[in-house]
Structure 1
Amino acid sequence: MNSRTRTAWLFLTPMIVLMLIVAVWPLARSIWFSFTDTNINDIAASQWVGWENYFGEYGLFFNPNDEEGFWAGDWGVSIRNTFSFAVVSVVLETLTGLGLALLLNQEFKGRALVRTAVLVPWAIPTIVSAKMWGWMLNDQFGVINNLLVSAGLITHKIAWTAEPSYALWTVVLVDVWKTTPFMALLILAALQTVPKDCYEAARVDGVHPLRVFWRITLPLIRQPLMVAIIFRLLDSLRVFDLIYVLTANGSTTISMSGFVRREMVEYGNMGFGSAASTSLFLIIMLTAIIFLRLARVKLAEDAK
């Protein structure tokens, strides 16, 4: 046993060291910077300011000079935008991916070709797909505006990624187009594990297909479905590239990651940006814990 333990540690040590270098150390450094007033132009002159970046006069979560309230500030707007984007996109991707997976799970001619074609949007790099959609949604020469005007659905061309009332939801729809295949792939893998005997017995008993879905399919794929939703939710809370390319990180669409990038890169406020980065990490971690707890309680109740 001692020999096996030593061997295990021998194989684990390189991975642990690598994780400390690429994950733990940068996170610890970011947390340290969040308690300082570090500026990228003069890092050596940074001073310890404690909780000022979080709850100080111009902190993230409390600013007594802001008469409009927390949610009207840039950080509050970024939190609201991020969760609005995450919730709506994940719900749409889950429902669309579930329907697509159910379709791809059926036996039909050319199914392998259709499965491959469905994965194309997901395989396209995010920057490439964002640029492509940005061109198609352009209010001057975009093909989508031309088609909608020609069909009489709109009377004038719309700046889909620039007008505040459309910008965020346009980004959501682009994300749904790109990421739905990912959800469909995970759900399809879960559907492949459902025993065929269950469907055969239901068919013999004359059970309606909709009842088969609610009573057989959904309960048997519920756990893999929850895992897929959690993965997608955590990923959507970190959204940056799609919003940045389509809307240039505008004030009406800025995400939490976009806020961090703006403060640290454009403004050079390493301390304040690190506080936002640490807060983003804690918000995502707290969201994951709450979601996992709720899912575990739900699954336990269903098991009873």
Structure 2
Amino acid sequence: MIGVVAWPMLLALYDSLFSYRLTAPDDRAFVGLQNYVTILTDPLWWRAFATTGYITVITVAVELVLGFALAMVMHKAIRTVRPVLRTAILIPYAIITVVSAFAWFYAFNLTGGFVNQWLPFVGDDFNWFAQRGSSLAVIMLSEIWKTTPFISLLLLAGLAQVPEDLQEAARVDGATFRERLFRVTIPNMKAAIMVALLFRTLDAVRIFDNVFIMTAGTNGTETLAFLAYRQTIQRQEVGLGSAISVLLFLLVVLIAVLFVKVFKVDLSQQRGGK
């Protein structure tokens, strides 16, 4: 862990304090926090920040609803069908993200894609990757398809922890499905929902693969992770790229802290502790 996680993080923090380009290694100079000032005052950072936030909010919200629905289906399925159903639902999550991104890219491609043929109202000459809105739509669809099974798996574990006697008592009292859902099921799944949202939000904030393969950050689809890649790899500005990576890490930590504070879940109590 020290070799593959802690050391690269410390090295990125160290490099972020220098003006350092790979093309001019002898011109390395200590600039302190100037790289951070440059980034936070640059419109590129805030555009990437807004794009990342937009993708994160939309995809996580849709995935939570769909994931909960799939979890309910898997939870209620009869025993003979349950293993096959769970396996089928989890297949998208098992596919490597790069492979999934290429599949979605070719499906929506103007030259060889089949989506335009399936949607006659769009038109055969409609280029999904020519403008920001449609590009982001495809990127988010691919994310939702790929990672909804992950949320459904976590929520399925939460559903298994809901006491059946509470559900039965609610039925006896005449509670409708909606009342049981919001007054019995969801309150007893608070920990599972927090974990699912936290994991997916942190993952969505760091989205890179789909953007890299589908648009390469063009048409206003550049995210924070792609901005760090562009500065570090393409422009070889190691100092600026490292500073962006450090800011992205701090953003992830802040999101994790906020989720824990907002949900106020006592995990020891969820395990049965006192």
TM-score with structure 1 length normalisation? 0.83
TM-superposed deviation, 1:297 = 8.2
1:239 maps to amino acid: I
Cα separation, 1, equivalents of 2:162 and 2:185: 7
Check whether the contact 1:38–1:47 (CA below 8 A) recurs between aligned residues.
yes
The runs of 5 or more residues in structure 1 that have no matched partner are 1-18, 63-69, 300-304
- 2:117 counterpart of 1:117: no
Check whether the contact 2:211–2:217 (CA below 8 A) recurs between aligned residues.
yes
Aligned to 1:43: 25
TM-superposed deviation, 1:41 = 2.0
Check whether the contact 1:74–1:251 (CA below 8 A) recurs between aligned residues.
no
The runs of 5 or more residues in structure 2 that have no matched partner are 268-274
Deviations 1:250-269 (A, max 9, x none): 25111111001111111111
Deviations 1:234-278 (A, max 9, x none): 111111111111112225111111001111111111111111111
Cα separation, 2, equivalents of 1:197 and 1:231: 30
2:197 maps to amino acid: I
Structure 1's 202 and 290: CA in aligned 2 closer, same or farther, altered over 3 A?
closer
Q: Which has the larger radius of gyration?
A: 1
The one of 76, 92, 96 equivalent to 1:106 is 76
Check whether the contact 2:101–2:213 (CA below 8 A) recurs between aligned residues.
yes
Aligned to 2:6: 24
Structure 1's 298 and 246: CA in aligned 2 closer, same or farther, altered over 3 A?
farther
The one of 73, 95, 98 equivalent to 1:127 is 98
TM-superposed deviation, 1:102 = 0.9
Runs (4+) of structure 1 exceeding 6 A deviation are none
SS of residue in 2 equivalent to 1:38:
strand
Give me the identity figure in percent. Answer: 33
Aligned to 2:159: 191
> Any residues of structure 2 matched to 1:56-67 within 5 Å, and which?
59-62=38-41
Aligned to 1:138: 109
Structure 1's 37 and 60: CA in aligned 2 closer, same or farther, altered over 3 A?
same
TM-superposed deviation, 1:185 = 0.6
Higher strand content, 1 or 2: 2
Check whether the contact 1:161–1:171 (CA below 8 A) recurs between aligned residues.
no
Cα separation, 1, equivalents of 2:10 and 2:100: 34
TM-score with structure 2 length normalisation? 0.91
Check whether the contact 1:39–1:270 (CA below 8 A) recurs between aligned residues.
yes
TM-superposed deviation, 1:122 = 0.6
TM-superposed deviation, 1:170 = 1.7
- 2:62 counterpart of 1:92: yes
Cα separation, 2, equivalents of 1:211 and 1:120: 32
Check whether the contact 2:198–2:256 (CA below 8 A) recurs between aligned residues.
yes
Check whether the contact 1:263–1:272 (CA below 8 A) recurs between aligned residues.
yes
The one of 184, 194, 198 equivalent to 1:216 is 184
Check whether the contact 1:146–1:157 (CA below 8 A) recurs between aligned residues.
no
Superposition CA RMSD, Å: 1.8
Cα separation, 2, equivalents of 1:207 and 1:284: 40
